[in-house]
Amino acid sequence: MKTLEELIKNLEIVKAYYGSQPIESFGPYKYLRINGISENSKKVEDRYIFVARKGTNFNGEAFIEEAVKKGAIVVVRESEINRDHFYPGIIQFQVKNIKKALSSLALNFFENPQEKLILIGVTGTNGKTSVSYFTKHILNRLGMKCGYIGTLFYETDRIIPSLETTPSILTIASLLKEMVDKNFKVCVIEVSSHALHQDRLLGIFFDIAVFTNLSRDHLDYHKDMEEYYQAKKKLFTYYLKQSAKTVISLENEYGKRLSEELKDLSPFLVNTENFKCEALDKKEGLILKIKTGNREYKVSTQLFGEYQAKNLTTTLGIFRTMGFKIEDILEAIKELKNPIGRLELVATYRGAKIFVDYAHTPSALEEALKSLNSIKENRLIVIFGCGGDRDKGKRPLMGKIASLLADEIILTSDNPRFEDPLKIIEDIKKGVNSSKPCRVIPDRKEALYFGIRSLKKGDLLLVAGKGHETYQEIKGKKYPFSDQEEILKFIKTLQNQ
C-alpha cells in the first residue's frame, strides 16, 4: 500500500481532475491510499490506479468505465479529459507520456527495486535463454543469489510461468521487488526486440548488457532486418547505467557492426580468436577447450549441441566483466545442462536418441541440425512446422535448411493460430528439395508417434519449434501440449505392448 503522493512524484501531469473539478492543489489527495496499479481493467481491484494505455491492438481508454466499476479511484490517461470523461469521486490525470507514467508508477509502487540489484540484460535472436540460464546457474553456484526473467519462466525463490519473454514493467517491478525482499543480489533478464521497440523497459537500467547474435525472426512485426537490429541496439543506447559493461558476441556480421558502433563503450568481445570455446568431443556431452588470451582450459560438461560452445563463451564474457577468473567458475561449468527445450535429450528408444529444441528460426534450425549431424551414427530425422500469423518468408528457408541437413523430414503443425496448418506446411515445402524424403502429418501428436515408431539404432530424432512450450495455439485457444510429455508417454506405451 502506498499514498498517491509517493506514486505520482515523477509524473509529467498536463491536467488533473477530481470528478469534473480541476485539481489546483494535491494537498487534499496526497495521502490517498492506493492498493495497486493495473493496465488491465479486468485485474483492477478496490483503490487501484488504472493506467489507460493504448497498445498495439487495444485502447485502454475504452475500458476506463469498467475499471472504475471494479474499484479504480485514480485513472491515468494520455488523451485530453473533457466533460464526457468525468466520473464522480474519481481522480484523473492527463499525462504527457503514458508509457513513462506507467513505468514511474510501477517502480515507485514497488519501491524502485531495480536500484537494489545487479541487472544483466541479454538480447539477440538466438542464445538469449541459454546464456541467461547459464549465468543464473553459475552465479547461484558461486553464492550470489540470482533471479531470472525470460522465455522459460520467471524465477525468484519460486517458479512462475512465463507469459512472454520480457513482461510488462508492472510484472518486472513486482518480480524485482520479490527478489529484493528475498535477498537476491542479481537478476538476469532476457530482453526481446518487442519489449525494446514498445518501450516496455522504461526506468530499468542495466549494469551489464549482452548481445548474442542477430538473424531472421519477427519480420511479421519489424518491417525489415534493419528495424529489428535498431530495436536490439536500443538496449545499449537507452538502458545502461553510467558505469555499465557490455558484452558483444562476434558470431555474425551484426555483432561486428554493433561492436563498431558502440566502440566508445569499450565492449568486451567474445567468440573471437582470443576468447572462445571449442568443442573437442560432442557425443556424450561437450568436452570444451576454453581459450582466454594466452591461457587454455579443458572442461567436460553435460551440454549437448556444438552451438552451446558459443553461448557458453558469451556467458564467460559476462563473468569476466564482473571480475571473475575462469578458474573461479570451472566447477560450475561442469554442472551445466541444456535449458528445457534447448537441444534437450528427452529419451532414448531402440538405441536412438530423441531431442527437443525450440528452433523456430532458420538460423536456430540450422545450428541444431548441424550439432546433431556431428554426432549421428545413422539417420537424422527432423519433425517441425512453423507458427501461424508470423513471418511467412522464413518458412521456405527452414524447409531448405531441413532438406540440406536432415536425412528425413516430417512436416507438421506448430502453433497454427488462425492460419490453415496445411497452407503453412505448403509454404515450408516450397523450400524442400523434391528428392528428400518428406512426409506431411499435420497432427503434431501423430507426427511425433510416427517419427518415434520409425526409429532404428543409431538414429537421431529432432523435434523442433516448440521447445519448452506446454501448449499448442489453434484458432485463438491454447490447448495443453508438450513435446516432451507426448514423447515420453508414447515410448511408455510402446514399451508396455
Binding residues for ATP: 124-130
- Looking only at the bridges linking them, the beta strands covering 13-18 and 21-22 are antiparallel
- Looking only at the bridges linking them, the beta strands covering 36-38 and 48-51 are parallel
Cα separation of 121 and 246, whole Å?
Answer: 10
Query: How far, rounded to the nearest angstrom, does the alpha carbon of residue 263 sit from its chain's CA centroid?
Result: 26
Alpha helix segments (H runs only) across 50-166 = 64-70, 98-109, 128-141
User: Which 3 state secondary structure label does DSSP give 28?
Assistant: helix
Instruction: Please check whether residue 301 is in contact with residue 289, taking contact to mean a CB–CB distance below 8 angstroms.
Output: no
Best CA proximity match to 485, nearest among 493, 476, 477? 493
User: Which 3 state secondary structure label does DSSP give 350?
Assistant: coil
Query: What is the DSSP code (8-state) at residue 134?
Result: H
Residues with Cβ within 8 Å of residue 189, at least 6 apart in sequence: 119, 120, 121, 122, 132, 148, 149, 150, 166, 172, 204, 206
- How many Cβ atoms are within 10 Å of 176's Cβ, its own excluded? 27
Cα separation of 132 and 134, whole Å?
Answer: 6
Cα separation of 1 and 26, whole Å?
Answer: 19
From residue 153, give the alpha-carbon distance in Å to each of 132, 165, 167, 175: 12, 8, 11, 12
Residues with Cβ within 8 Å of residue 24, at least 6 apart in sequence: none
Element (H, E) at 261: helix 253-261
Would you state the cell numbers that stand for residue 411, as one nine-digit string? 512436416
Cα separation of 228 and 159, whole Å?
Answer: 30
Best CA proximity match to 378, nearest among 351, 349, 402? 351
Binding residue positions for meso-2,6-diaminopimelate? 390, 414-417, 465, 469
Cα separation of 405 and 185, whole Å?
Answer: 43
Amino acid at 224: D
Would you state the cell numbers that stand for residue 341, as one nine-digit string? 527445450
Number of helices (H), then strands (E), belonging to the chain: the values are 15, 27
Binding residue positions? 41, 124-130, 165-166, 192, 198, 200, 390, 414-417, 465, 469
For the four alpha carbons of 267, 268, 270 and 272, in that order, the dihedral sign comes to positive
